[in-house]
Amino acid sequence: MKQAYQKPIPVMQPWTKEFWKATKDHILLIQTCKECKSKIFYPRKFCPECWSGNLDWIEAGGKGKVFAFTITRDMVEPKFMTDLPYVLAMVTLEEGIRMMTRIVECDPEKVEMGMDVEVVFEDISEECSLPMFRPIKK
């Protein structure tokens, strides 16, 4: 039997449930505002631009570019030690929003700013999968 996931699992909130539910199907959703058309990340109760509660979802294409990153080599919570070294990154999606994520399936030393990446999902529980990004093979 596969060992249960040891690392922290996202806490579902009524306003994030839709986002996490979609990750189970390996779909990345972006919250949008029906009033001012803003794209919103992370999911919220109200639009951060116009404070409307009239929000919706669109499906992201799943492609983006590395905006910034750091290679984590040591000094992390013990549950993450087996992952070292790993790349923590900000990725700007084609839709314009920016996500904090990890770059996977790649030698950490090969990660570059501006690198083209695509979303992949790590299945961690019955409720959700974690969106991460890997380089797009050329």
Which residues contribute to the site for Zn ion (CB under 5 A)? 33, 35-36, 38, 47, 49-50, 52
Based on CB atoms, which residue is closest to Zn ion, 6 or 54? 54
Based on CB atoms, which residue is closest to Zn ion, 50 or 84? 50
Least separation, in Å, of the C-beta of 21 and Zn ion? 23
Least separation, in Å, of the C-beta of 17 and Zn ion? 20
52: which DSSP letter?
-
57-60: long-range contacts (C-beta < 8 A, 24 or more apart)?
57/18, 57/19, 57/22, 57/29, 57/30, 57/31, 57/32, 58/29, 58/30, 58/32, 58/95, 59/22, 59/27, 59/28, 59/29, 59/30, 60/28, 60/29, 60/30, 60/93, 60/94, 60/95, 60/119
Based on CB atoms, which residue is closest to Zn ion, 32 or 129? 32
Least separation, in Å, of the C-beta of 84 and Zn ion? 40
Least separation, in Å, of the C-beta of 53 and Zn ion? 9
Q: Which two tokens stand for residue 136?
A: 């797009």
Based on CB atoms, which residue is closest to Zn ion, 33 or 99? 33
Least separation, in Å, of the C-beta of 33 and Zn ion? 3
Based on CB atoms, which residue is closest to Zn ion, 47 or 115? 47
